[in-house]
Amino acid sequence: MNENMENRTEREEMPERRHGFHRGGKDRHGEGHDRHHGERHGEHREGHDRPHRGDKFLNVKNLWVEYTAGKRVVHAVNGISFSLRKGESLGVVGESGCGKSTIAKAILRILPDHGARIAGGEMWFKGKNLVDLSEAEMEKIRGAEISMIFQDPMTALNPVKRILDQVASVIRLHNEGMTKKASEAIAIDMLKTVGINEDRVREYPHQFSGGMQQRVEVAIGLSCHPDLLLADEPTTALDVTIQAQVLDLIHDLMEQRGTTLILITHNLGIVAEMCDHVAVVYGGEIVEYGTKREVFKNPSHPYTIGLFGAVPSMASDGERLKPVEGVMPDPSDLPAGCKFHTRCPYATEACKDGKVPVVDLGGTHRCQCHHIEEVRAKREKEAATV
């Protein structure tokens, strides 16, 4: 999303307490409604439904990130803006390589030291611009205030440290004065909750399967009780039962502590269950943004429509994003104009050059496209014939 596409208006409500995404994104009304859907934007009564929800506390403004490898510059994130209030949740979707993990790593400031740089923008978190903070200041924020569940657990876990030590040391780090014994007891409990039995906790990461490693990652991410949780494909390698438990844990954290969530996932059912806003990312830009209801009910960007399938639904029952015909352009050689024009069935000459307008579709809903009206008319016609 460009800067002017930022979510400026009111948020929608949080989804219902869930007992497993496999319920298909339906809330307890069974219709995929957002809770209190009768309330209009701006009419929400602050603080009545959950603790700690207040003013926006994460404000990402016109963020640019690039990687350099020799002469090749990868334009991974290209002018993304969004903001979240405390307790809100944003689902970030888009196909592989579109820049999702880079956004999360930039916020946590854990981009590789060499060859990666934040090329522009601001990231305001609780009144501080993370871009300007020193490494020592960021160290204090990581874990305690912002934590991340990594997409690839093996890169995040220490291969020479036992699982229990890794989880317990994170707990001690954020609970000054806590004894080793006490932290281990909490760690064992947390690991049990993510389905790892006590008899395995003294093993090393390489002795665990990919799914088990991912659960350790989740346990570490949640043990910190962060204000902001960046969950990068947190359930991809897990079976359905454990996925549901992990999502419940994340949801509990949000309920009890007002944790704000950025959830990166390929699974629409999880977005429908967990998130109140959705950002659709393509070529390092947010091409469509809105509340879950706005985007699922009324997908407007040709890429979103392709990704969600012809007739998207909040009751998508764990469905994964659909492949869109063609491939995403190489981010080191992005096309001019709309980055989607090489694959878009609606593309015209106007799409191939210059700035693409950001269309305000009401509420928080924004879409970056030249031909919104034509796209919508066609989608509605197709939906009517299904």
Ligand X SMILES: Nc1ncnc2c1ncn2[C@@H]1O[C@H](COP(=O)(O)OP(=O)(O)OP(=O)(O)O)[C@@H](O)[C@H]1O
Residues in touch with ligand X (CB under 6 A):
67, 69, 74, 76, 96-102, 112, 115-116, 151, 331
Q: With CB cut-offs between 5 and 8 Å by kind, which of Mg ion, ligand SF4, ligand X, none does residue 115 bind?
A: ligand X
Helix axis angle, 210-223 to 180-193, nearest 10°: 130
Q: What is the DSSP annotation of 147-186? A: EEE-SSHHHHS-TTS-HHHHHHHHHHHTSTT--HHHHHHH
Look at residue 58 and give its three-state secondary structure.
strand
Residue 102 binds to Mg ion (criterion: CB under 5 A): no
Q: Measuring CA to CA, which residue among 97, 100, 101, 109 is closest to residue 332?
A: 97
Contacts of 96 (CB under 8 A, 6+ apart): 328
Residue ranges in 337-356 that form contacts with ligand SF4 under rule CB under 6 A: 338, 340-341, 344, 346-347, 351, 356
Least Cβ distance, residue 27 to ligand X (angstroms): 27
Strands 277-282 and 89-93, by their bridges, are: parallel
Residue 131 binds to ligand SF4 (criterion: CB under 6 A): no
Least Cβ distance, residue 110 to ligand X (angstroms): 11
Residue 369 binds to ligand SF4 (criterion: CB under 6 A): yes
Per-residue b or e along 196-206, where b marks 16 or more CB atoms closer than 10 Å to that residue's CB: beeeebeeebe
Residue from 26, 105, 371, 379 binding ligand SF4 (CB under 6 A)? 371
Q: With CB cut-offs between 5 and 8 Å by kind, which of ligand SF4, ligand X, Mg ion, none does residue 99 bind?
A: ligand X
User: Within 10 A of 252 (CB to CB), how many other CB atoms are there?
Assistant: 14
User: Per-residue contact track with Mg ion, 127 to 166, x per CB under 5 A?
Assistant: ------------------------x---------------
Least Cβ distance, residue 330 to ligand X (angstroms): 7
**What is the spatial distance between Cα 78 and Cα 75, in angstroms, rounded to a whole number?**
7
**What is the spatial distance between Cα 74 and Cα 330, in angstroms, rounded to a whole number?**
8
Residue 101 binds to Mg ion (criterion: CB under 5 A): yes
Contact 163, 200 (CB under 8 A): yes
**What is the spatial distance between Cα 31 and Cα 54, in angstroms, rounded to a whole number?**
28
Least Cβ distance, residue 353 to ligand SF4 (angstroms): 11
Least Cβ distance, residue 335 to ligand SF4 (angstroms): 10
User: Within 10 A of 345 (CB to CB), how many other CB atoms are there?
Assistant: 10
Residue 363 binds to ligand SF4 (criterion: CB under 6 A): no
User: Per-residue contact track with ligand SF4, 289 to 308, x per CB under 6 A?
Assistant: ------------xx------
Q: With CB cut-offs between 5 and 8 Å by kind, which of ligand X, ligand SF4, Mg ion, none does residue 259 bind?
A: none
| Contacting residues toward ligand SF4, per CB under 6 A | 301-302, 338, 340-341, 344, 346-347, 351, 356, 369-371
